Structure 1
């Protein structure tokens, strides 16, 4: 099972993906409203992939769209492929089409990772942007959204990658051999410093890897999701029944 050093996530299991998405949208708005009331802004790191897209589309539509003061929302990205922003593989493009272009969000409040630039320079620029936006040496997001791959990776923290060892930098660039491409990613200390970390997963195809991460042996270099340990923040897995089917306490 997960190491005692890693908090066990709260499991919020819903009947199907639609119910999960709607519950996550309600919680997203409530989390954002609480952050705005507490300190006047809401800093969120978005996830890529297919699972969060319905969430973004729901947030972009009434009534959710109208429940937030988007002028005080700051959007970042948990990771990015090193591709231009108009590439079909770009996490930014997906989020822009599903959400960012459909809400009154000032362009200056969107902080994308520049996948079209040289990777090391893009990582450095992303880190400088984070520090400037948060006005502190180490960023503390109000919310980080994550997905999980079939191999246990999250963000662009892949099994055995050097970025899993990074403790000084907030953004890391690496060539991912299994994907045959360069990636940019937030590092584990940034994820763990967040006030809330949410994993979104649905479908039977995620059941095996989720069970391995939560109930299997402690092998985080093989299953990087096991490294995520927001000990001082909220840690929630949003799942549908199919994804949670093999979890011991679902």
Structure 2
């Protein structure tokens, strides 16, 4: 089941996604001991994380029972400004009492020699956690229709059964990345795609109409929610 919610602008998308995330995590923790959430980077994704941290609802969450993962990461050194985890650390993680052992960062290039080794290590970490079915998996959408670091026509996207992939020669810099694959994305309980801006309108429409040339069209879970702004919705 796919639902689409259109909001006025990018800030409204971020605020809505943050509120929904907090309420969903709270609901999950009423029936499960642990909630597993996959974060995304990007402008709207990072604004969402900042909105989570600043929301009064955040105080109602038992953050010691929340595990945080990433949909993709740039294979650059630890502390590099391109890394999604650094943006998330600044926007949200430093403001919430999430135990460090619950924060599952993808490997950096100063820790692993290759992105393939980092991808294998992240897969092993997922398996060590019991290969959880993500309670919420958040994704941004690029103007080209990519999600995580799965790009149209690229090797990472054409490995549909893979849970974690190394991405080489990415069409968007930096060229080397680690990404969740469609195998694990499509097992999520909830996949949320957040997108804003007129430059996303064509890809949003193509994805929602099922154009499988675009990875965003294949990004779905048991429940799929698209949170988009008015500018991104004009061709839907």
The two structures have a TM-score, normalised by structure 1, of 0.87
User: In structure 1, what is the Cα distance between the partners aligned to 2:216 and 2:170?
Assistant: 19
Unaligned residue ranges in structure 2 (runs of 5+): none
2:84 counterpart residue number: 91
2:181 paired with 1:187: yes
2:195 counterpart residue number: 201
1:149-228 correspondence to structure 2 within 5 Å: 149-179=142-172, 181-215=175-209, 219-220=211-212, 222-228=213-219
* Equivalent residues of 2:14, 2:44 under 8 A apart: no
* Equivalent residues of 1:41, 1:74 under 8 A apart: yes
Aligned with residue 57 of structure 1, among 43, 47, 50: 50
Q: Partner of 2:13: helix, strand, or coil?
A: helix
Q: Partner of 1:28: helix, strand, or coil?
A: helix
Aligned-residue offset at 1:182: 0.9
Give CA-to-partner distance per residue, 1:13-52, whole Å, 9 cap, x none: 1122222222222211111011111111110110111111
Aligned with residue 38 of structure 2, among 28, 45, 55: 45
Aligned-residue offset at 1:95: 0.5
* Equivalent residues of 1:152, 1:223 under 8 A apart: yes
User: In structure 2, what is the Cα distance between the partners aligned to 1:140 and 1:156?
Assistant: 20
User: In structure 1, what is the Cα distance between the partners aligned to 2:101 and 2:155?
Assistant: 32
1:98-109 correspondence to structure 2 within 5 Å: 98-109=91-102
Q: Partner of 1:66: helix, strand, or coil?
A: helix
Unaligned residue ranges in structure 1 (runs of 5+): 1-6
* Equivalent residues of 1:85, 1:92 under 8 A apart: no
Aligned with residue 113 of structure 1, among 106, 116, 135: 106
User: In structure 1, what is the Cα distance between the partners aligned to 2:225 and 2:45?
Assistant: 14
Give CA-to-partner distance per residue, 1:121-168, whole Å, 9 cap, x none: 1011100101112x2xx4310010001111111000011122223355
2:20 counterpart residue number: 27
* Equivalent residues of 1:139, 1:190 under 8 A apart: no
User: In structure 1, what is the Cα distance between the partners aligned to 2:121 and 2:19?
Assistant: 33
Are the structure 2 counterparts of residues 22 and 185 from structure 1 closer, same or farther at C-alpha, using a change threshold of 3 Å?
same
2:134 counterpart residue number: 141
1:234 counterpart residue number: 223
1:3 counterpart residue number: none
Aligned-residue offset at 1:177: 4.1
* Equivalent residues of 1:158, 1:176 under 8 A apart: no
Q: Partner of 1:105: helix, strand, or coil?
A: coil
